[in-house]
Amino acid sequence: MASFPAFRAAAVQAAPVFLDTAATVEKACRLIETAAAKGARLIAFPEVFVSAYPYWNWTLNPVQGGPWFERLYRSAIDVPGPEVATLCAAAREAGAHVVIGVNERDPYSAGTLYNSVLLIGADGELLGVHRKLVPTWAEKLTWGHGDGSSVRVHETSIGRLGALACGENTNPLARFALLAQGEQVHVASYIALPVAPPDYDMADAIRLRSAAQSFEGKTFTVVACSTISEEMVELLGHDEATRKLLRREHCALSGVFGPDGRPIGEPLIDAEGIVYADLDLAKSIQAKQMHDVIGHYNRFDVFSLTLDRTRRSGLSFTD
């Protein structure tokens, strides 16, 4: 039976210490401590916060981006590994659930990374690791595909918790697969995207997707997006046009959305900070009386979805 706790959530909007894994993990631990001191029992971090997003895929050709990929590979982490252990210890010390994006190294291949989301329990145990199913657009130059094994909802003391990374929140089937497992709290991690086409407003796109997820599923959505630091602009800005592009405004939004699709409080745009919101999961009960897309407001004799949760591997052993 589902439970309907009330608790405080925190959405972190911040930049990593670019390509510096140890410093970024240390920054994450400080932010966990800060949010927990404000009473947060769920603390959400941006996509691949540890410790870089490959912006060079959008501003350089693939050959020019090769050395940057190697730097990203060397700064990526193993799961499990020492960085994961440090983050788990911080969650345990804070008594808070932590959801954080990382660059995960493939355990066997030096050429494959995954855009992964770690879900950590308040007891410091790693609940799950979700690998982004499909890298978006230019991201295909950096990350491999995840599989259905991590499309899971986790039973926790703050309700049934699920997560998707950035563009996955646009995928109706991925979202429905989590909702159908009883998801009550959805964490959506994003990156600031100043490199998008001129007519694409990333902050508005995040707001739209988050409102849709919450309204359709009658769930709470906690959105955490990264920012672009001046250090990153100087490091990645190989010419003045690129530096100007990376300083583009309205490319990041973090906040919390309720079952009616509306933000709880004011979302944070562009600036670093932490957004706090008090969630009462019981608010979804009456909302679902009108539209329960995983129950009475669906026709499973007409529509069906199959989720293959087989873990994929390049090699199977028979011994």
Distances (CA, A) of 201 to 13, 207, 265: 17, 10, 21
Q: Which residues are catalytic?
A: 47, 132, 166
d(CA 24, CA 30): 10
What is the chain's length? 319
Q: Return the closest-CA partner of residue 96 out of 53, 141, 169, 38.
A: 38
Tokens found for residue 148? 């259905």
Looking at this protein, which amino acid is placed at residue 148?
A: G
* Tokens read off for 44: 């959400």
| Maximum CA extent, the chain | 58
Q: Could you say which DSSP state residue 119 is in?
A: E
DSSP strands (E only) in the chain: 6-13, 40-44, 97-105, 113-120, 126-131, 154-156, 159-165, 185-190, 220-225, 253-257, 268-269, 273-280
